A and B are shown apart, each in its own frame.
Chain A
C-alpha cells in the first residue's frame, strides 16, 4: 500500500509524464484504501500545493478530481469535514436531497464527486448527482466520463439530465452521446435536456434524428425541445408526429409546431383530425388553435 501511495505521489508530482500512462490514469482503489490514500497524500510534505494545483487544471478529469480532492483537504479541511458525512434529507416525495445555500460552493465539487465515485447506495448516489451541478464546480466532464462507464440506465439518465447545467463543450459531447445511448430512457432524457440549454440548437440535427426513435418518450422530448429551441428547419420532420401512436408525442409535436410556425400549423389537415383525438390534452391543444 505504501509503495502504491508513493507511486501515486510520484505520478502526481509529474502529471504530464504519467497522464500518458494508462496504468496510472485510474490508480486509486475503492473504499477504505482510497480514503487512506487521500489522507496520506494530504499530509505528504513532498507533494506541494503548486503541483497539485497544476494537476487540478489538467485535461483528465480523474486526475483533476484526485488532485483537487487532496488540495481541498489541505486548504479547507473544516468545510470538507462538515460535508464529508452530511446526509441528504428526506424530501417530500421520499427521495433525499442536499439543501442549503452554502452548497453553491465550487470547492465542494471534488468532495461530493469523491463520494459519488465511492458508489454509495442509490438514494445518496442520486442526491450526489443532483447536488454536484449546484456547487458550480468541476463536475461536468466527470459526468460525461461516468456516463460512458455506467451500466444502470437510470443513473445514466440522471447524469445526462445534469448536463443541462454543464459548460458547452462537455454538455455537447455528453448529450450527443446520450442521444445515441442504447437505452430509450437515456435518449429521451438527453433529448429533453437539450431543449433546456440556450445553446441546444447546435444539437438540432441530432434531435431531428431522435424524432424517428423507437422510444415514444424520446420522440416526444425531441419534439418538445425542437419547439423550445425554435429550430424552424424541423417543421417538416415534426409533422409526421402529429399522427404518432403515442399521445404525448402527438401533443409535444403540436406544441412544437405551434411554436415554430403557428399559421402554417393551422393550415395542416392533421390539426382538424386531432380535435377528435382520443387524448383530451391533444384535443384541447388542437382546439386552442382555432
Chain B
C-alpha cells in the first residue's frame, strides 16, 4: 500500500532529478533486453530509476505479477545496467543495499533484493542488468551501490496513477447494447459505430450485465507510466459488487497483459461513488501552480461524499490534485450532469468548460411557438407543449434557485481551481426538474446536453456525442429543432457535433450519453517531464 502522503512527500523531496542530470534518468529504461555497457563515470552519476507498479498479469495465470514471484521477466520492470567497467573497477563485486518497502530488485530471473533481503553482492565480469519491480504507486526507496572507493545512492520511485482527460485522443468507445424488456438502444449504438467506425466501438451485450447500461459509472481509465514503461489501469468502482450488473465488465473485456484493474474502497456505495462523478479537467493552472496533467474533480459535500479511500488515494497521487465541487444538489449527484470540458483548438487553453445556464434556456423557449407540441416530454416530464413548459412559474422559480444557489458557486470553484476566466467558459442552455424519486433534487428536464461524450482524435477534429434535446414535434427534424440549433452555435465549431437519440434508455433513466459510454484514451503527458514539481511536497 502507498505510504501516507506526508511520508511520500518527505521521501520524494530527496528524489527529484536535478535538471542537469535529467538525462541520466533515461538510462534506467528497458529499451534493450541486453545489458548496455555505459561509461564508468556516467554510471556513478545515476540519480534515480523510475518504474511502474507491477499490477497486471502478464502470464495470465490469474495471479497479479507482483504476487507472482516465480517470474521476473515481466515487461513492467524498470532496469538499471551495471557496466562491466564498473564491476571491474570495483574489483569484481559491488555491495548493494535496498531501502524501502514494496520494491524488489531482480537479477537473472531471481529476486536479488527485497525488504527481507536488503543487502546483496553483485559480482562478475560482464555488465549486469538489474530489474526493479514496484508493488504499488508512488513507492520510493533507495538502491545503495558501493565498490572500491566509490558509492552511489540511486533513488527508486514508482509512478503515480494518472487519469485521462478529454483532450487525450480516444482509442475505443464502450457501450452496453440493450435490447430487452421493451427497451433498445440499437439505433444509438449504430450511430456511434457509423460516427467512430465499428472498430472503435465495443458494444457489450446488456444481457451479460443485468441490462446495466451505465458503463461510465463503472470504470475509469488511467495510466501508470515511466520512461519506457506503460501500463493501463482501469479503476473499477465500488458501484456494483458481488458480480452483479457491470461488476465484472473490466474483467470480461479489459484485463489483459499491460492492463490492470484495481478498486479503491469497499462497503455500501452511494451514487457519488459512480464515475460519472469522477472527471478530469484538462491542463491548467491555479494559484501559481501548473497542473500539466489536469486536475481531478469528484463531487460531494461534507455530509455526503464518495468513498474516502479513493479520494485519499487520488489526493496522494498529487499530480492531478483533486478538487471537490458540491454535486449533492443533483438527483444523481454526478459532476458530468452540469459541466463538461470539450476540446477547442481556437481557445487560448485548447478547451472550453461547458456549464448549464437555465436563463439561456428560458430565453430561447420564450421565443418559440407556445402551441408547438413536444411529445417526447409528455410521458417523461408531464409537459405536452412549449406553452405548458414556459407557463410553469414554479419551474422557472426553481431553476432560478438552482442556478444561483448551486451552479454559480460551483462554477466559481471550477474557475478558481483551474485558473479559468469567463472566456474559457461557455454557458449552454439547460433546464432542471425537481424529482421526488431522487431526493427532490435536480434532474435534467431537457436532455442534459452538457452530459456529452468527447471522442478526441489525434489528427482530426474531436467528435462531440451530444444528447438530442427533442424539443420539437414528432414530425420535425433535428434541423428544425431551435434548441438544438442554438446549442450548436455555442459549441466549438472546430469540433464535429453529433446529436444522438438517447431518450428512452438514458435520458428517461436519468442519465445521458456520457453516462452510457466510456472512452479509452491514449496516455497523456509524461508526468516525469512535466509534473515532477507536484510531487515535491506541496502541503
A positions within 8 Å CB-CB of B = 82, 86-87, 89-95, 97, 99-104, 126, 130, 133-134, 157-158, 161-162, 164-165, 189, 192-193, 195-198, 227-229, 251, 255, 259, 280-281, 284-285, 288
Q: Which of B401, B405, B437, B515 contacts A92 (CB 8 A)?
A: B515
- Give the interface centre of B394, B397, B510 by most chain A CB atoms within 10 Å: B394
Q: Which of B333, B397, B405 contacts A93 (CB 8 A)?
A: B333
* A158→B217 contact, CB < 8 A: no
* A89→B440 contact, CB < 8 A: no
Q: A99-B505, A228-B393, A228-B397 known; A90 and B382 CB under 8 Å?
A: no
Q: Which of B182, B405, B437 contacts A95 (CB 8 A)?
A: B437
Q: Which of B212, B401, B436, B509 contacts A99 (CB 8 A)?
A: B509
Closest 6 CB pairs of A and B: A92-B511, A161-B436, A104-B379, A99-B508, A91-B509, A93-B271
Give the docked Cα–Cα distance between A197 and B508 (Å).
23
Q: Does B349 contact A (CB under 8 A)?
A: no
Give the docked Cα–Cα distance between A103 and B438 (Å).
20
* B378→A104 contact, CB < 8 A: yes
A102: chain B residues at CB < 8 Å are 379
Q: Does B346 contact A (CB under 8 A)?
A: no
- Give the interface centre of A87, A100, A103, A162 by most chain B CB atoms within 10 Å: A100
Q: A99-B508, A101-B379, A285-B405 known; A89 and B438 CB under 8 Å?
A: no
* B332→A92 contact, CB < 8 A: yes
* B436→A281 contact, CB < 8 A: no
Q: Does B183 contact A (CB under 8 A)?
A: yes
* A90→B378 contact, CB < 8 A: no
* B333→A284 contact, CB < 8 A: no
Q: Does B210 contact A (CB under 8 A)?
A: yes
Closest B residue by C-beta to A89: B183
Q: A130-B437, A161-B436 known; A92 and B378 CB under 8 Å?
A: no
* B378→A251 contact, CB < 8 A: no
A189: chain B residues at CB < 8 Å are 436, 440
* B394→A97 contact, CB < 8 A: no
Work out how many contacts link A and B, with CB atoms closer than 8 A: 110
Q: Besides A134-B380, A198-B393, 10 other CB < 8 A contacts?
A: A89-B181, A89-B505, A90-B212, A95-B438, A99-B508, A161-B436, A228-B394, A251-B405, A284-B409, A288-B404
Report 12 cross-chain contacts, Cβ distance below 8 Å, ordered by A residue. Answer: A86-B181, A89-B181, A90-B213, A92-B510, A94-B271, A97-B508, A99-B504, A101-B378, A101-B504, A195-B394, A228-B393, A281-B409
Closest B residue by C-beta to A227: B397
**Chain B 213-228, CB within 8 Å of chain A: the 1/0 string?**
1100100000000000
Give the docked Cα–Cα distance between A148 and B510 (Å).
30
Closest A residue by C-beta to B180: A89
* B398→A90 contact, CB < 8 A: no
A100: chain B residues at CB < 8 Å are 182-183, 379, 504, 508
- B472 → A minimal CB distance (Å): 14
Closest B residue by C-beta to A217: B440
Give the docked Cα–Cα distance between A214 and B333 (Å).
28
* A97→B437 contact, CB < 8 A: yes
A101: chain B residues at CB < 8 Å are 375-376, 378-380, 504
B276: chain A residues at CB < 8 Å are 92
Closest A residue by C-beta to B269: A94
Give the docked Cα–Cα distance between A86 and B210 (Å).
15
Q: Which of A89, A93, A94, A103 contacts B211 (CB 8 A)?
A: A89
A103: chain B residues at CB < 8 Å are 379
Give the docked Cα–Cα distance between A197 and B395 (Å).
10
* B404→A92 contact, CB < 8 A: no
Q: Does B528 contact A (CB under 8 A)?
A: no
B405: chain A residues at CB < 8 Å are 251, 281, 284-285
* B382→A133 contact, CB < 8 A: yes
- A184 → B minimal CB distance (Å): 14
* A92→B217 contact, CB < 8 A: yes
- A123 → B minimal CB distance (Å): 11
- Give the interface centre of A94, A104, A197 by most chain B CB atoms within 10 Å: A94
Give the docked Cα–Cα distance between A86 and B182 (Å).
8
* B382→A97 contact, CB < 8 A: no
Q: Which of B410-443 contact A (CB under 8 A)?
A: 434, 436-438, 440
Give the docked Cα–Cα distance between A196 and B393 (Å).
8
B217: chain A residues at CB < 8 Å are 92
Closest B residue by C-beta to A127: B437
- B148 → A minimal CB distance (Å): 65
- A226 → B minimal CB distance (Å): 11
Q: A89-B211, A92-B332 known; A192 and B440 CB under 8 Å?
A: yes
Q: Does B245 contact A (CB under 8 A)?
A: yes
